[in-house]
Structure 1
Amino acid sequence: MKIAVVDYGMGNLRSVAKALEHVAPEATVVVTSEASELDAADRVVVPGQGALHDCMREFLARGLRDSVERASRTKPFLGICVGMQMLFDHGDEGDTAGLGLVAGEVPKFSATMQSEDGAHLKVPHMGWNEVEALYPHPMFAGIAPNARFYFVHSYYCAPRDVADAVAQTRYGIAFTSAVARDNIFATQFHPEKSAAAGLQLLANFVSWMP
C-alpha cells in the first residue's frame, strides 16, 4: 500500500507521515507534491496548519488542485485541520475560495464566546476537547464515545448539508469537527497530535474501504 501525504509547503507534514508509518509499518508513506505520485497512491492525506489563505495560495501555486480533486473522487482521502477547511466553498479568513468539494463556509469563532458557566473563551480554540460522533462511521471504530482530540484553530467548518457532518465539538457553540462524504473524511482536530485516539483514527484510515 502507498499512502501519499500532500506537500504544499505548509503544515506539519513530517508529523503526519511519521504517525502513519507508526500505524501502518507495512505501507510506503511518501510526502510529495508530484501529481504522478498522488495518482499512483492508494490513499491520500492533505494535512494543514496555519492560515487558510496562505495554504490555498501555496497549494494552487504547486498545481495540486487537479490531482487532489481526482484523489477525492477515487480513493480514501483524509483532510486534517486546514486540509479540512480547504475542502469547503469559501473561508472568511482572507476571503478565500476553497476547493468546493464540500458545500459550506468556514467562518471565524466569535471573540465574545462564553462557556456554559459564563467564562470567556479564548480564540484560537487550542487544546484537548471532546469529539462527539453524530452517527457510526468506520473511521471512529475502536474509539471511545466523546474521546478527546487536539485542536488548534480560530475558524471552523459549517457544512451546508447537515448529512456531511459526522462529528461535532462544543466550544462556546457546537461546531462540526469532522465531515464525511463518500470516500472523503476530514477532521478539524489533529489526529497525529491526539495520542491513542488519534493513532486509532489513522489506523482506521489505513484499513478504511469506502
Structure 2
Amino acid sequence: MAIAIVDYGMGNLHSVSKAVERLGYEVLITSVESEILAAEGVILPGVGAFGDAMTQLQESSLDAVVRKVAAGDQPLLGICLGMQLLFSTSEEHGSHKGLDILPGAVVRFAGGDYKVPHMGWNKLDYIEQGSPLFTGLAEGYVYFVHSYHVLPEVKTDLLATTDYGQPVTAIVGRDSVFGMQFHPEKSGELGMSLLHNFLKLTGNPVK
C-alpha cells in the first residue's frame, strides 16, 4: 500500500513525493478516487491561487474525494495551499469557498513592519504539545512562502504558530486531518521529521 499524493494539477508533486520516498515510503501520485481511498495515507499539496485550486478540485470531483478521506480514518495532510484548502473560505483574489473540512478563513497579511509574502525560515511554536506530529521533536525553524494565512475558528485545531508580525497559523490538526503552512520537504531536518511523524500515523511500514 502506498501514500497517495492527490494530483489535481496544482501541486509541488515532485518535491513532496521525493521527500516521502526518502523517508522509505511507497508513493502513488494519482487523481483516481479508488486509489486515493485505498491508500494508507493521503497528502494534498498545493502551489498557486486558492480559487484556481478549488476549481481544479471541483472539475475533477476530487473535492468530494478529499472530503471522504477526511471523514474516514486515513491520515490526511495538506501542505501549503493544500492546508489552506482544508478551510471554509478564502479572500485570495475575491471570495472563494474551500473544502470546509476545518472551520476558518484564509486572509491576506495586512502588511506593516513586515514584508508580504512571508518568505523564508521562521521558528515554530508548538501550541498543542501532545500532538503526535511533535513526538520527539524540539521547536525549530521551517521554510515558509505565502501571502495569505489561516484564521482557524476552533482553538484546538491550532497545533503550532510562527511569529511574523503576529502569531501566524503554521500547523493545524483535528483527528486524522493535519495541515502544514510551510513546506516540510524544504525545511531541513525538522521539516522531514514532522513529515515522518505524519507518515508514521498511516501504519504503512517503510520499505
Equivalent residue, structure 2, for 1:105: 105
Aligned equivalent of 1:202: 195
1:142–1:200 contact (8 Å) kept in structure 2: no
**Within the alignment, does 1:12 sit opposite 2:12 as a pair?**
yes
1:209 Cα deviation (Å)? 5.8
1:132 is the counterpart of 2:125: yes
TM superposition shift of 1:59:
1.4
1:29-108 equivalences in 2 (<5 Å):
29-74=27-72, 75-93=74-92, 94-108=94-108
2: distance between equivalents of 1:63 and 1:209? 24
CA-to-aligned-CA distance 1:85-116 (integer Å, 9 cap, x gap): 0011100103111011101111100122x2xx
SS at match of 2:163: strand
SS in 2 for 1:157: strand
**What's the offset of the Cα at 1:142?**
2.7
- For residues 12 and 188 of structure 2, the distance between their equivalents in structure 1, rounded to whole angstroms, comes to 16
Which runs of structure 2 are paired with 1:180-195 in the superposition (5 Å)?
180-195=173-188
Amino acid corresponding to residue 161 of structure 1 in structure 2: V
1:144 to 127, 131, 138: 138
2:79 alignment partner AA: I
Amino acid at match of 1:80: I
Q: Deviations over 1:36-75 (max 9, x none)?
A: 1101101000011111111111111111012111111221
Could you tell me how far apart the structure 1 residues matched to 2:111 and 2:159 are? Answer: 26
**Identical aligned residues as a percent:** 45
Q: What count of residue pairs does the alignment treat as equivalent?
A: 200
The residue aligned with 1:117 is none
TM-score (norm. length: structure 2): 0.93
Contact 2:41 2:75 in 1 (8 A): yes
**Deviation at residue 11 of structure 1 after TM alignment:** 2.2
Q: List runs of 5+ in structure 1 lacking aligned partners.
A: 115-120
TM-score, normalised by the number of residues in structure 1? 0.92
C-alpha contact 1:91 1:106 (8 A) present in aligned 2: yes
TM superposition outliers: structure 1 runs of 4+ over 6 Å: none
CA RMSD of aligned residues (A): 1.3
The letter of the residue matching 2:77 is: L
Aligned equivalents of 2:59, 2:9: Cα separation in 1: 10
* Partners of 2:128 and 2:158 within 8 A in 1: no
Structure 2 residues without counterparts, runs of 5 or longer: none
